Structure formats: C-alpha cells, structure tokens
C-alpha cells in the first residue's frame, strides 16, 4: 500500500472517531471531537509516518547499493565465464593438435617420411676431438646464425665449437663409401602426429606401439681421444655436407661404436660388433 493511501486512511480513521467516546487510563471520559485531542493524535500519526518514510528511504538506499553490487558481480561473472570459455577452447585445440616432440636426424639434411616436418637443416658440430675441457653433447647448427651485440675480448678462456666429420678405422667407415673426412649434415625434425620420440640403441626396429622415424648406426668419438662425446644415431643412408671432404679438418669426429663384453652382457651382445640404432615415435 502506498504511503499517501496510508496517510489518507489514518485521517479518515481519526475523523471517524469524532463521534466516539472512550475512557482514558484514569477513567475519565473524553470527547473525541475535542480539537486538542485530534491535533495530538494527528501529530503522533505524522511522526510515525515520517519515521516509516525515513525507514523506507534507508531501505531503498540499501537495495540500490545491493543492486549495484549484484550488477558488478554479474559483470565479473560474465568476464570470468568468457575467460573460462577461451581457456577451454585453447585446451581443446591443444588436445586435438598432435605432434610436438622433436629429434635430430644425424647425417641427413631432410626429415624422414611424410610423418614428420623439417624444423631446419644444418651442420653437425661440437668440441675438438682431443680437448680435455670439451663439451660432451653434439649440436645441430642452423645455416643462418644470428649474432649477439657483444664486445669481443681477445683471450683464450672460452669454450670452442667445431664442425663434424665422418671418420673411419683402418679405412672402414659406417657412414657410406668414401665418406671419410666428409662433413656431417643434420636435420631437426618434428613429428606431425606423435608427441614422443626416443633413440633406442642396438635396435633396427621399434617396440610394439611405436613408429620408426629412421634407423642407422650408433656413433660417438674415438675412445683414445681426450674429449668426451655423446652417442647419437647416424642415418643408415648418411649424406655428406655439400662442399666438404676436400681436407681433413677434424673437429668433432663421428666413429662407429662397437660392443665390448665384460660388464656388458654377452650374450645378448657380441664382442666387437658394431651397434645399430633406431629413432622411434609415439
């Protein structure tokens, strides 16, 4: 009910009492037609009405504040819902997009089969074969290097990086005929439909559930030299790097790897037998 209606009803109620008599608390009879009494009642009712109006105004302000807060929360919720929807979309795209694991194909400038894509092809490189402080890992250097804007200090307290060459023992090489002293290419490859890759030594085929990327011969440095090296899988159809092989520049050297019995179990391994390798994807 509106406050104006309530006020009108109160006035009608007061006027209806004009002809009514009632007793006060002291037992006296008072005529309601007494103007002073009617004025007193009207004043009292107006005071109550003002109190109710003030209460309503206060409640209206609180309701308005709560509505503003609710609107703010709704806007935040909509923003968060949009962010959640975006994250779900990205997660769905990431889940549906396969591939991602990369591997290096040593001895080749291309990537194997239609199951992979070429990231870049370049040059195999590493430390000098007989340096005591050599780095152990091999690198596949890109053909288009970019340089830091640094000041070159003329000293010899540095690491060193050299190209790689195929080598042979007693004229025999695991990496193709006439490959001795040829420079070694490499290719960084990314599987299109697989998320994992692994190089398995002493295998020519992959285990069940894995797909072969390429196979070949296990290679490392020569055991008589100072430098540490790592084992890598050189493709069975290894290529030379175009323009190399005219001179014996050494650097990082690729030798075939043989098995030696003792702490290495024979069988299943065989004494002084070259080790194969395969790169597999899943």
CA dihedral 106, 110, 114, 115 (to 10 degrees): 30
The 3-state DSSP class for residue 276 equals strand
Q: What is the mean pLDDT of the chain?
A: 82
Q: What is the mean pLDDT of residues 198-204?
A: 96
Q: Which of 15-19, 162-166, 250-254, 256-260 has the lowest mean pLDDT?
A: 15-19
What pLDDT is stored for residue 248 in this prediction?
82
- Kindly give the residue spans of alpha helices, DSSP state H, lying in 102-217: none
Cα 15 from chain centre: 82
Give the CB-side neighbour count of residue 56, counting CA atoms within 13 A.
Answer: 9
Query: 264 is written with which tokens?
Result: 């290495």
Total-model pTM: 0.63
Please check the confidence at residue 22 and state whether its pLDDT lies above 70: no
Tell me the pLDDT tens digit for each residue of 60-76: 888 888 888 888 888 88
CA distance 103 to 122: 13
- By CB atoms closer than 10 A (0-12, 13-18, 19+), residue 1 is exposed
**Cα(169)–Cα(139) distance, integer angstroms:** 24
Q: What is the pLDDT of residue 107?
A: 94
pLDDT value, residue 244: 63
Confidence of residue 220 (pLDDT cuts 50, 70, 90): very high
More confident residue, 176 or 210: 210
Residues 207 and 210: their CA atoms lie apart, in Å, by: 6
Query: Does residue 18 carry a pLDDT above 70?
Result: no
Average the pLDDT over 275-280 and give the result: 96
User: Which two structure tokens, joined as six digits, stand for 145?
Assistant: 């290097």
Mean pLDDT of 76-97: 75
Work out the angle between the directed axes of helices 3-16 and 35-96 (0-180°, nearest 10): 160
What are 117-147's pLDDT values in tens digits?
999 999 999 999 998 888 999 999 999 998 8
CA atoms within a 13 Å half-sphere pointing along the CA-CB vector of 206:
15
Give 260's contacts (C-beta < 8 A, 6+ positions apart): 271, 272
> What DSSP assignment string belongs to 254-267?
EEE-B---SSS-TT
> What is the residue-wise DSSP string for 50-75?
HHHHHHHHHHHHHHHHHHHHHHHHHH
CB of 128 closer than 8 Å to CB of 227: yes
């Amino acid at each position: 009910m509106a406050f104006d209606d309530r006020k009108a009803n109160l006035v009608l109620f007061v006027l209806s009492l004009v002809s009514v008599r009632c007793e006060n608390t002291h037992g006296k009879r008072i005529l309601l037609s007494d103007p002073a009494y009617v004025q007193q009642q009207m004043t009292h009712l107006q005071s109550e009405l003002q109190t109710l109006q003030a209460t309503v105004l206060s409640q209206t302000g609180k309701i308005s504040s709560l509505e503003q807060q609710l609107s703010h929360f709704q806007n935040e919720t909509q923003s968060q819902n949009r962010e959640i929807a975006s994250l779900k979309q990205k997660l769905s795209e990431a889940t549906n997009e396969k591939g991602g694991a990369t591997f290096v194909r040593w001895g080749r400038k291309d990537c194997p089969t239609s199951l992979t894509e070429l990231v870049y092809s370049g040059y195999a490189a590493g430390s000098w074969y007989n340096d005591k402080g050599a780095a152990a890992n091999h690198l596949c250097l890109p053909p288009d290097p970019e340089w830091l804007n640094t000041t070159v200090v003329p000293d010899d307290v540095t690491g060193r990086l050299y190209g790689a060459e195929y080598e042979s023992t007693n004229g025999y090489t695991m990496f193709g005929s006439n490959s001795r002293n040829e420079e070694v290419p490499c290719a960084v490859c990314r599987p299109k439909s697989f998320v994992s890759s692994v190089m398995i030594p002493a295998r020519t085929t992959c285990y069940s559930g894995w797909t072969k990327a390429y196979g070949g011969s296990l290679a490392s440095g020569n055991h008589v030299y100072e430098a540490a090296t790592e084992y890598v899988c050189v493709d069975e159809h290894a290529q030379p790097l175009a323009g190399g092989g005219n001179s014996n520049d050494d650097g990082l050297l690729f030798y075939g790897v043989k098995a030696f019995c003792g702490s290495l179990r024979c069988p299943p391994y065989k004494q002084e037998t070259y080790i194969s390798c395969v790169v597999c994807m899943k």
